[in-house]
Amino acid sequence: MYYGAQYSSSSGRFLLTALIFSLVCLALVGWAPVSLSAFECTPEKAGYDFWNPQRFIAHAGGVIEGHIYTNSKEALERAYDNGFRLIELDLSKTSDGKLVAVHDWGHWKSVTGATSSPPPTAQQFLNAPIYSRFTPLTYADVVSFFRKKRDAVLVTDKTNEFSMLARTFPDPDRLLVEIFSWDDLKNAVAAGIKHPMPSFLWGKNALEQILKARRIYGVKFLAVHSSQVLMNPSLMSTLTSQGFCIFAYSSNSTDFVKDQIGGNRIFGIYTDYWEPKNSKFNCPTKEQCRTY
């Protein structure tokens, strides 16, 4: 009896110490690891809180000082500090083959005032502040950020550098890659992308194609244009009930969230002006609080 009590007491102290240590670590560094594998997207398992931060993707880094599509360091940091944990950054190559965060090169030229024809070299890209004040991001900068923020997920598209992403991103379970063709889906999975997110399966026989993608490639996440959601509500509900995690691009509309997420048709959205900490859209004008 004595030895059992002694063991129980020691075990209890050990567990209490471990718990306190874990809580102190969380308080100090401010994160808890997240896993896309753990996402449960059926209404029964996801719950009915349609303002849950995991349902919102900060589009192109999110808004910064009223500007969208910047893919900038300041936008990325603001999105995280504002409560986003799924953050999209568009990745493209410079003329000398370096991967950087940029929405598209035409937009980049217009917001940097660059005079040379894009794409630029990596050095030219870094030397061109966005709107004269925001810091451009290289892929190395992106990796560094997500290595530190272990409760954050990178959502990305516009690149088929699947092997490099799979090899260099800190955690394959925190990387969600939008895919635009069957060939890219095959190549992404073969390269080690754990969570491909096709956006090309919404044509003829969409349900059959999506189920095929799950059967062959284990697809769980889907990206879809908001217009398809509005045109095919029954298909969205069917897929959601079967466990697919559907993200619609893009919306800044409370009504869209309430109708489509609240109606259990999709799991989440890409958004520009959502504020997770305040659970509201903060659009510069009423006209910008829309679905597009």
Q: Is residue 18 domain-shared with residue 70, that is, in the same domain?
A: no
Closest by CA to 260, choosing from 228, 289, 222, is: 228
**pLDDT of the residue at 58:** 98
Q: Is residue 276 domain-shared with residue 202, that is, in the same domain?
A: yes
Residues 6+ apart with CB under 8 A from 203: 209
Q: Is residue 118 domain-shared with residue 4, that is, in the same domain?
A: no
- Residue by residue, DSSP assigns 8-50 as HHHHHHHHHHHHHHHHHHHHHH------GGG---SHHHH-S-T
Residues 6+ apart with CB under 8 A from 66: 284
Output phi, psi for 102, to 5 deg: -155, 140
> pTM for this structure?
0.89
Domain count, the chain: 2
**Does 155 score more than 80 pLDDT?**
yes
Per-residue confidence band for 19, with pLDDT thresholds at 50, 70 and 90: very low
**Does 24 score more than 60 pLDDT?**
no
3-class state of residue 120 by DSSP: coil
The Cα–Cα gap between 21 and 129 comes to 42
Share of the chain above pLDDT 70, in %: 89
CATH number at residue 274: 3.20.20.190
Quick count: other Cβ atoms within 10 Å of Cβ 268?
A: 25
Per-residue confidence band for 5, with pLDDT thresholds at 50, 70 and 90: very low
Which tokens go with 292?
């597009």
Which tokens go with 212?
């095929």
Q: How far from 272 is each of 74, 75, 100, 216, CA to CA, in Å?
A: 14, 11, 20, 33
Out of 16-20, 116-120, 155-159, 245-249, least confident range: 16-20
Q: Is residue 26 domain-shared with residue 36, that is, in the same domain?
A: no
Q: Is residue 116 domain-shared with residue 220, that is, in the same domain?
A: yes
Q: How far from 259 is each of 23, 24, 50, 254, 265, CA to CA, in Å?
A: 38, 40, 10, 9, 8
Per-residue confidence band for 32, with pLDDT thresholds at 50, 70 and 90: low
Which tokens go with 229?
């959601």
Q: Is residue 18 domain-shared with residue 79, that is, in the same domain?
A: no
Q: Is residue 5 domain-shared with residue 135, that is, in the same domain?
A: no
Place of tokens 């349900």: 207
**pLDDT of the residue at 49:** 80
Question: Which residues span the domain enclosing 23?
Answer: 1-30
Q: Is residue 77 domain-shared with residue 115, that is, in the same domain?
A: yes
Q: pLDDT, tens digit, for every residue of 195-249?
A: 999 999 999 999 999 999 999 999 999 999 999 999 999 999 999 999 999 999 9
The Cα–Cα gap between 108 and 31 comes to 33
- Residue by residue, DSSP assigns 222-261 as EEEEHHHHHH-HHHHHHHHHTT-EEEEE-B--HHHIIIII
